[in-house]
Structure 1
Amino acid sequence: MVAQYDPHSKKAKLVTIMRDSYVNIPGESPHYNKINSAYSQGGPELLRKTIKKNFGIDVNHFITIDFKGFVKVIDMIAPEGIEVNVTKKMIEDMNLNVEPGAQKLHGKDLLSYVRFRHDKLSDFGRVQRQQEVLSLLKDTFKEQLGSVNGILELPEIGEEIIRDIDTDMDFKTFLSLGKVVLFDQVKGIESMRVPVPNSYSNREYPHAGQVLQLDLDENKEAIQNFFEKNPKPVTKEKSE
């Protein structure tokens, strides 16, 4: 996922690049492979270079989280759970003790929800659920911490969260992102998926298996048109 926040328009945007997208990976042999192999081969830095090479997007910072960390962060930020709509198929697949419909799921079950892909939408449905949960988590985070007590607890919560993630941001920068959610009143999260509709085909290669063969020019243009091309920098306050 690639996210952008413009503090002046107060808009947040999120692009999910499907993990089976067949792209040009710098320095890897073969040069074309699934985009998720960039991370497995060279970590965040190679993934950053791959995104820039294929889509012309320069990623400034990264945050990664594993399954265990996801569960801990969800239960910390949303101790009462996140309400999502679960289907009978999901309940059977995830072995949930709930009825179909709107249900509040906690960390472990919510992890299963965002990973579920055993329906007709497959990975495309999973992407939708991941974006849905991020948006709901943002709203819950704001509600939980949007009080005087919540503001005082923010540094402590930030310290807890940063222990469960990997990032190239220092704590001060990371904490400022939390304050953006609380004080800048983010006006929702706009999201899109890559590949965009009608811009890919299903292919299979011996070295990569089944992939999404992208029209790279069309998807590159779509991403660049979606993101703010020249977001204004945040104005720093001068100290007296």
Structure 2
Amino acid sequence: MDEIQEHQPRRKRKKKFKRGRFLSFLFFFLLLAVGAYAFTQYTSGYNLAKDAKKEPADFTGDVREQGQRENVLVLGVDSRGQDKARTDTMMLVSWDRESNNVKIISFMRDIYAEIPGYKSYKLNTAYYLDGVQLVTDTIENMFDVPIHHYALIDFSSFETLVDIVTPEGIPINVEKDMSEKIGVTLKKGQQNLSGEELLGYARFRSDAEGDFGRVARQQIVMEALKDEILSVKNLRNIPKFVGATEGYIETDYSKSDKLKRVMDASVSGNVEIEKLTIPVEGSYTNKSYSHAGSVLEIDKERNKKAISDFLE
């Protein structure tokens, strides 16, 4: 009897050991499967965009720290195969690495800007004149805000990236019928927009709101994209999306830096976005110059303070 009792605990320990070893093997093979899937999808995205890959522009980021904030200049261009283009979208995306709070500052393209080494022109002309660094220098000099990194995306690449990360489309409440000069026809109401439709929505300005309405829609698109990229249902698309960014997004970030930032945001699961448009209301007048056309002449000090207050 004593011998039977003596063997029972040993038998239980052996069963627990076998069960534990089985679960460890199961977890290990699950990790292998997930890793293999992620690698395959990343490679698929990378191969899709490899022919579009460009070398990063000559860029010198600001070395000034702004607390935990990392400021990224995001530029959208419609190059249409041309070497020179103007920036249709200019945003400063300021990310607080500690709280995961994101603040987006949108700069109106018609701001009459003091462009270093050139006459004053519309802000979107700086990229046409001398690329990313000149846009960076112009914004830093005018508004005294440090820019640490940049990301440049062509609109055709934007469409493809949207379709990769959200094949079923991005939910947007289109506030009015839209069609003029955007390449697609959109009807008023809630709907899922493809990459091409989302770009058309963001670029529409054929109404009384003009460029101000377009900037507001660009901010709506950024928020909607953030929600979709971080949603659980789209996590399976992230490896292919990150792979495709290697070719479709030109940036000074390294491959590992890009992946780290996407993973940091994904793991946190909660990214809050605040938005500001420059110039702020009541801080500009409409002017016209023979060499620059119709522009927004701004109260520089007032807008500089608005940015400082917003970021701090």
TM-score (norm: length of structure 2): 0.67
Work out the CA distance in 1 between the residues paired with 2:202 and 2:238. Answer: 26
Work out the CA distance in 2 between the residues paired with 1:158 and 1:100. Answer: 32
Asked whether the equivalents of residues 85 and 100 of structure 1 are also in contact (C-alpha less than 8 Å), the reply is: yes
Distance 1:145 1:138, change over 3 A: same
Higher mean Cα deviation, 48-57 or 172-181? Answer: 172-181
Is structure 2 residue 98 aligned with structure 1 residue 8? yes
Query: Which residue is equivalent to 1:18?
Result: 108
Query: Which residue is equivalent to 2:128?
Result: 40
How far does the alpha carbon of each residue in 1:155-194 deviate from its partner, in whole angstroms, 9 at most, with x for none? 4431212211111111111112211220123432100100
Query: Which residue is equivalent to 1:164?
Result: 248
Work out the CA distance in 2 between the residues paired with 1:97 and 1:42. Answer: 35
Higher relative contact order at CA 8 Å, sep ≥6: structure 1 or structure 2? Answer: 1
Query: Which residue is equivalent to 2:66?
Result: none
Distance 1:70 1:171, change over 3 A: same
Q: CA RMSD in A?
A: 1.9
Distance 1:216 1:182, change over 3 A: same
Structure 2, unpaired ranges of 5+: 1-90
How far does the alpha carbon of each residue in 1:40-86 deviate from its partner, in whole angstroms, 9 at most, with x for none? 11111111111110000111111111111011011011111111122
Work out the CA distance in 1 between the residues paired with 2:152 and 2:99. Answer: 26
Is structure 2 residue 139 aligned with structure 1 residue 51? yes
Trace 1:57-96 onto structure 2 (pairs within 5 A): 57-91=145-179, 94=182, 96=184
State the one-letter code of the partner of 1:19. Answer: R
Structure 1, unpaired ranges of 5+: 229-240
Query: Which residue is equivalent to 2:214?
Result: 126
Is structure 2 residue 183 aligned with structure 1 residue 183? no
Distance 1:135 1:9, change over 3 A: same
Work out the CA distance in 1 between the residues paired with 2:301 and 2:183. Answer: 42
Is structure 2 residue 226 aligned with structure 1 residue 106? no
Work out the CA distance in 2 between the residues paired with 1:42 and 1:92. Answer: 31
Computing the radius of gyration from Cα coordinates, the structure with the larger value is 2
Query: Which residue is equivalent to 1:224?
Result: 308
Count residues with an aligned counterpart: 222
Work out the CA distance in 1 between the residues paired with 2:175 and 2:214. Answer: 14
Distance 1:58 1:68, change over 3 A: same
